Amino acid sequence: MASYAWVLEVRTGYEEEYKRRHDEIWPEMDAALRASGINSYHIFRHGLTLFGYFETDDLDATISALADDPVNKRWSEFMGPIMKIDIDSSTNFPFLLPKQWSLNK
């Protein structure tokens, strides 16, 4: 399973709201992420910086599935006002960080 990561930002004053929304993530959004091929997904916060880590076997299929999913579109519109999101225009997905090193079993 390949792993990927992104860095985004929560807007000042919305830190607790961001956490609350994810604590109450819509069941249909959870299902959309799983249906897109994401096996594991974690988001961490340091100050205003958000670090997302996820695993999928087929990144292109995952990006395509989420791009076409109406639930993901609604979630993005719901979260957009409280975040600063930098999108890669070539993928219409957040910029993914280049892997520098990994330790595997």
What is the per-residue pLDDT for 105?
A: 82
Strands (E), 1-105: 2-10, 38-46, 49-56, 83-84, 87-88, 93-94
29-79 pLDDT per residue, tens: 999 999 999 999 999 999 999 999 999 999 999 999 999 999 999 999 999
Catalytic residue from among 11, 19, 22, 99: 22
pLDDT over 90 at 104, yes or no: no
The stretch 81-103 carries a mean pLDDT of: 95
6-42 pLDDT per residue, tens: 999 999 999 999 999 999 999 999 999 999 999 999 9
Is 42 known to be catalytic? no
